């Protein structure tokens, strides 16, 4: 039997209050991650067999990947473990790795169905772009980051959040070099900024104007959303990145310019995120999940393999958990994926 180091966190929490230190199990430091594998759940042989049986059952029904539901992807032996992982994402350290899913010798459709099915036990997939892609692909296709989404390039991406409750990634192929995936606890970042520069921590509780880059849902007209980097709602902390969306928002009509204090605060945020982060190394078959409201992520620039079949390639899901962790309304509204007029859900098996 495969040894499993997985251990839930202690769940010690106090109600979060603005401008006071936050006590939350998601407030970890880099050494808590590098010095432990408690956040890694290693699949057993019987669990792998159970996943593959569920994939085979979906194949026999002729089910499209996007139509595989939790109830139709039966994992009775893993049910308790997946429930514990979901609880850990919502109320624990805020991230988890499921390791050991075989990808060699499996078709892309089989691997994607396995990933989707496991993800369905943790949340509901939502659209990742205006094309309605429920299954995403993090793969360099030669695009320029200045004009395209970062997941289509090999460029460095700063610390940020996605438009969902839980980000899920499955590694098909790592890069030849670089491409390190880094995460940072936004709870720890807030606590450190509060300790070092409380004035700048307070500046990040202001609701910034963030550009929607033209991705405006039906029935809405504003070209931006307003969200703070540090929010508090129903006794829970919620963190957001100070990403390029804020700078893009500065170019929109009627948006007030950032003050010198706000710019100093966002600069400190970026420096602290890098200082407090830890690298997560992906192996083929790793499924990594993080809770966007307490965990930030970034990616380093990378060099890819010349052979097309060896290129760095991650499958991606954006999951909503429908309010499993309380977040402010202006963030919850922005955490159910990207939908514009004409968006139709699909689950492509490659970049398209």
Q: Mind listing the domains of the chain with CATH numbers?
A: 30-185+281-332 (3.60.130.10)
Whole-number pLDDT of residue 154: 58
By CB neighbour count within 10 A (0-12 exposed, 13-18 middle, 19+ buried), where does 222 fall? Answer: exposed
Whole-number pLDDT of residue 306: 73
Q: What is the pTM of this model?
A: 0.93
Q: Is the pLDDT of residue 118 over 90?
A: yes
Whole-number pLDDT of residue 325: 95
Provide the pLDDT confidence category of residue 85 given band limits of 50, 70 and 90.
very high
Q: Specify the range with the lowest mean pLDDT, choosing from 26-35, 97-106, 143-152, 167-176.
A: 143-152
Whole-number pLDDT of residue 151: 55
Place of tokens 């709602």: 233
| Mean local confidence (pLDDT), 5-13 | 93
Total count of residues recorded for the chain: 352
């Amino acid at each position: 039997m495969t040894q499993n180091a997985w251990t839930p966190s202690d769940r010690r929490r106090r109600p979060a209050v603005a401008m006071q230190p936050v006590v939350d199990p998601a407030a970890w430091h880099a050494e808590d991650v590098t010095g432990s594998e408690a956040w890694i759940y290693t699949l057993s042989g019987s669990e792998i067999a159970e996943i593959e049986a569920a994939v085979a059952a979906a194949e026999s029904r002729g089910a499209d990947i996007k139509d595989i539901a939790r109830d139709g992807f039966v994992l009775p032996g893993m049910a308790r473990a997946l429930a514990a992982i979901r609880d850990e994402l919502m109320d624990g350290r805020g991230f988890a790795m499921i390791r050991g899913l075989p990808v060699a010798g499996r078709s892309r459709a089989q691997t994607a169905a396995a990933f989707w099915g496991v993800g369905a036990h943790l949340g509901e997939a939502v659209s990742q772009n205006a094309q309605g892609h429920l299954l995403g692909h993090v793969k360099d296709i030669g695009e320029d980051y200045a004009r395209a989404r970062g997941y289509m390039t090999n460029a460095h991406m700063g610390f940020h959040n996605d438009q969902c409750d839980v980000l899920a990634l499955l590694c098909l192929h790592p890069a030849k070099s670089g491409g390190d995936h880094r995460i940072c606890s936004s709870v720890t970042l807030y606590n450190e900024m509060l300790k070092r520069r409380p004035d700048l921590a307070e500046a990040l509780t202001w609701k910034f104007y963030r550009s929607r880059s033209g991705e405006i849902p039906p029935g809405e007209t504003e070209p931006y959303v307003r969200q703070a980097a540090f929010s508090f709602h129903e006794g829970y902390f919620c963190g957001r990145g100070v990403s390029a969306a804020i700078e893009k928002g500065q170019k929109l009509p009627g948006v007030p310019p950032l003050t010198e204090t706000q710019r100093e605060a966002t600069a400190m945020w970026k420096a602290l995120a890098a200082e407090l982060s830890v690298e997560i190394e992906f192996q083929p078959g790793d499924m990594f999940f993080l809770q966007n409201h307490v965990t930030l992520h970034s990616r380093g620039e990378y060099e890819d393999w010349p052979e097309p079949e060896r290129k760095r390639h991650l499958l991606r899901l954006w999951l909503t958990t429908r309010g499993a962790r309380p977040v402010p309304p202006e963030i919850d509204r922005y955490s159910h994926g990207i939908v514009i007029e004409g968006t139709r859900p699909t689950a492509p098996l490659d970049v398209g």
